[in-house]
Structure 1
Amino acid sequence: MDQTAQQAQQLLQKRDLAFAKNGVGRGLLSGAAWGLDGVLLGMAFSLAPFANTMSLFAAPLVGACIHDGFAALWLFIYNVLHGKWRDYGRTLKTRPARIIIIAAILGGPIGMSGNLLGIYFAGASYTAAITAAYPAIGAVLGAVFLKEKISLRVWAGLLLAIAGSFLVGFVPPDGSAYPHFYLGIALAVVSAIGWAVEGVLSTYGMDLVDSDIAIGIREAASFLIYICIILPLAGGGAFRILSQSFTTPSGWYIALIALVGGTSFLSWYRAMNMTGVGRTMGLSVTFALWSVFFGWLLNDLRLTPNLIIGVIVISLGTILTIGNPKNLLNLNIR
C-alpha cells in the first residue's frame, strides 16, 4: 500500500473514531436527560389537576400527551432552525417513514404511556429501575434482526448496568403513597418492551432517514395518536384534565420538561444511528443512575446503601460498555 493510500486510510479511521466518540457522548447525554425528565414529570404529577384525580389512568396519559406534543414542537423548531423543515414532507412519502411511525406507536402510546403510568403508580425510582431492562431486550433484538455484533465485554457491561439499575430501584416505597404499586411495575415492564422494539425499528428506518427528522416524526406521530385515539378512549375526564392543566402551572411545567425529553430523544436517535442499538442502550440505561441523582438533588430522595451500591455497579457497567473508543470501529458502526 503506497503512502497516499495509507494516509487516506488513517484519515478515514480518525473520522470514524470521532463519529463513534460523538455517538458515545450522545448516548450518555440521552441517559442523563431522561433521568432528569422522569424526576421532573413525577414532581409535576403531584400538582393539580394531575393529583387526586378520580380517573385512574387519565392523568398520566394526559401528561404523556402534553409531553410528546411539546417535544414534537420543540424538535420541529430545532429542525426549522437547522434548515431541515422541508425534509418532513419528503420523508413522510418514504417507506422508512412508515417504519418510524410504527416505532412511534411502540415508543409513545405504549412505551411512554407505560413509563408515565409507572411513575404515577410506583414512583420514578422504581419505574426507572424496571424500564432499565429495555437495553437487554433491544440488544438481543438488534443482534437478531440488525445483525449487530456485540462483544462479550459489552454484554457484560450491559448486564452490570441493568443489575445496578435494579439495585438502584430496590427501595421499598411508602405503601400509602403508592397504593397501586404493582400495577405501576407491570406497566413499566410494558414500557421496557415497547422502547426496545422501538429502538430496533427506528435504527432500521434511519438507514435512509436523517435521525433528527426521524425523531421529529416519531414525536409528532405519537402526539397525534394520543390526541386522536388514546385520550378519547380514556373518556371525557381526560380532556377535562387536559384543559385544566393549562389553567394551572403544571401543564406549562410539562411543556418545559418536554425540552429535556426532546433533548433525550434527539440524542438517543442520533446515538443509535452513530454507534448501534446495543451500545446506545447500554449507555442510555444510566438514566436510572441519573434519576436517583436528580431525585436526591431536586426531590429529597433518601439515599440508602443499595442506591450507593447500585450507582457503583452502573458505573462499572458503563465503563465496560464504553470500553476503549477505538474498539467502536469493530462494532459495525452505522
Structure 2
Amino acid sequence: MPEAILKETAEVEFLEKEVKITTLKEQSKKDFLKKGIKIGLFSGMTYGIYTAFLTLGMTKGIWADWYGPNLAGLSTFVIVYLLAALGNAINDTCSAFWALGNAGYQGKLGDFGRTLNTKPGRMLMLAAMLGGPIAGTAYVIALQMAGSIIVPISALCPAIAAILGKIFYKQEINKRMAFGILICVSASFLIGSTSFIGEEISTEVLLGILIAIIAAFGWGFEGCVAGYASAMVDPQIGICVRQLTSGLTNIFIVLPILGFLSGDVTTAITLTMKAFSSSPAMFWFILSGLATFVSFTAWYTGNSMCGAGLGTACNGTYSFFGPFFCWLFLGVIVGIDGWALPMVAWIGAIIMVIGILIIAVNPLEFLKKREE
C-alpha cells in the first residue's frame, strides 16, 4: 500500500512538473513574441525619424542651391530623379558604415564575410536590391514630389507582403487579413484625397503618390524575401548585408544609369562628389543613416522574433511616425512651411495603423486572453 501511494505521488509530482514546464515554455514564447512586437514598433518609430532627418538633409548645404529658386541650372530630370536617388544613396552608404562599425565593434566582421556566400545571405542581397535602390529611391522621389503625405501610402507594404505571400508562398489570407488589407487600401485613398481638397489636382503630387505605391511594392517584396533569411542570419549581420548592398548598388549602378539618362554620365559623378563634401547636409545624412541602421536592425530582429508578417506590420506603423516626425522636426522645430498635415490625413494614418495590426493579429484573441 505505501509503495502504491508513493508511486501515485511520484506520478502526480511528475505531471505537475510537466504542467509547470509547459506553462513556462508558453509564457516564454509569449514574452518572446511581445518583445519582438515592441522591437518591431520601435523600428517603425525610428523609420519616421530617418524620414525627417533625410528630408532635412536635402534642404541644407549644396542641396539648398540645387532645390533653390534658380535650381542651379539643373534639368527637371536631374532635380526630380537623380537628386532623389543621390539622397537615398548617401543615406544608405552612411547607414552601411554605421552597420559595419557596429559589426566590427562586436567582432562579427568575419561572420559578415561568410554570410555573403550562403543562401540566406544571397537572399538578403536580393531583398536589399528590391528595398534599397528600387523602393528606397522611389520613396525619396515621392517625398520630394508630394511631401510626407506619401508616407502612409508607402506603408501599404504589409498588405502587399500578405498578398505576395499568398501568391508566391501559398500563405493563407483569411477573412480578417483581407479585411485589414481593405482598411489599409481605403486609408491610403483617404490620405491621398487630402492633396486634392479645395484645389486643382496637382500632376506632381499625383505622380508622387503613384511612385510611393512603387516603394510599397518594393518593400512588400523585401518583406517576403527577407522573411526567410532574417530567421537564419544574425540581424546585425543581416543589416550589414542589406545596407552595404543597397549603398553600393545605388552609387555604382543606379546613379550612373540616371546620369546617362539625363544626357551626361559625368553629371552624376559631379553631383555625388559635391554632395559628400557638403558638411551642413552630411551632418543630417549621418544622423539619418544612423536612424536607418537602427530601424532596419530592429525590423530584421523583430521579424526573426515574431515572424515576417507581424514584424513588417509593426514596422508599418511608420505610416504615422513618418508624418509626425516630419511635422515635428521640419515644420515645428526648423520652421519650414508646407509640412503641416490636415486632420483627415492624421485620421487616415491612424486607420492605416489599425488595418496593419488587423492583418498581423486577431484582436479577438487578445480579448479572450485578457478575459482568461
Aligned amino acid, residue 310 of structure 1: G
Alignment of 1:255-266 (within 5 A): 255-266=286-297
Structure 1 unpaired stretches of 5+: 328-334
> d(CA) in 2 for partners of 1:180 and 1:30?
30
CA contact (8 A) 2:159 2:184 kept: no
Q: Give 1:25's aligned residue.
A: 38
Give the structure 2 partner of residue 330 of structure 1.
none
- Equivalent AA in structure 2 for residue 307 of structure 1: A
Q: SS state of the match for residue 192, structure 1?
A: helix
Of the three residues 259, 271, 274, the one matched with 1:244 is 274
C-alpha displacement of 1:163: 3.7
- Equivalence for 1:39: 52
Q: Secondary structure at the match of 2:136?
A: helix
Which amino acid in the other structure matches residue 158 of structure 2? P
TM-score (normalised: structure 2): 0.78
Distance in 2 (CA, whole Å) between partners of 1:184 and 1:315 is 21
Candidates 344, 351, 362, aligned match of 1:306: 344
Match of 1:332 in 2: none
| RMSD (Å), alpha carbons | 2.8
Residue from 203, 225, 250 that aligns with 2:249 = 225
Partner AA of 1:160 in structure 2: I
In the TM superposition, what are the counterparts of 1:93-104 in structure 2 within 5 Å?
Answer: 93-104=117-128
Tell me, yes or no, if structure 1 residue 81 matches structure 2 residue 96.
no
Q: Per-residue deviation at 1:264?
A: 1.1
Q: Could you tell me which runs of 5 or more consecutive residues in structure 2 were left unpaired when the two chains were aligned.
A: 1-13, 260-265, 332-338, 367-372
8 Å contact kept, 2:313–2:357: no
Q: Which moves more between the two structures, 75-84 or 10-19?
A: 75-84
TM-score normalised to structure 1 length: 0.86
Please say if 1:281 is aligned against 2:305: no
Q: Deviations over 1:58-94 (max 9, x none)?
A: 2111111111111111112222333322210111121
Structure 1 match to 2:165: 142
Structure 2 letter corresponding to 1:244: K
**Alpha-carbon distance in structure 1 between the residues aligned to 2:158 and 2:130:** 15
Change (3 A) 1:34 1:158: farther
CA-CA distance at 1:27 after TM superposition: 1.5
How many residue pairs get aligned? The number is 325
Which protein is richer in helix relative to its size? 2
Equivalent of 1:291, from 292, 310, 322?
Answer: 322
The reply on whether 1:2 has 2:51 as its aligned counterpart is: no
Partner Cα separation in structure 1 for residue 235 and residue 48 of structure 2: 22
Bigger Cα Rg: 2
Displacement, 1:200?
0.7
Deviation per CA, 1:279-304, whole angstroms, max 9, x where unpaired?
Answer: 22222222121122213222223242
The C-alpha deviation readout for 1:172-212, integer Å capped at 9, x for no partner, is 27999x87333322322221111111111111223422222
Aligned partners of 1:325, 1:210: CA distance in 2, in Å? Answer: 33
The separation in 1 between residues aligned to 2:193 and 2:241, in whole angstroms, is 36
Counterpart-to-counterpart distance in 2, 1:81 and 1:158 = 41
Equivalent residues of 1:61, 1:113 under 8 A apart: yes
**Correspondent of 2:230 among 206, 211, 216:** 206
Query: Is the 1:39–1:124 Cα contact (8 Å) retained in structure 2?
Result: no
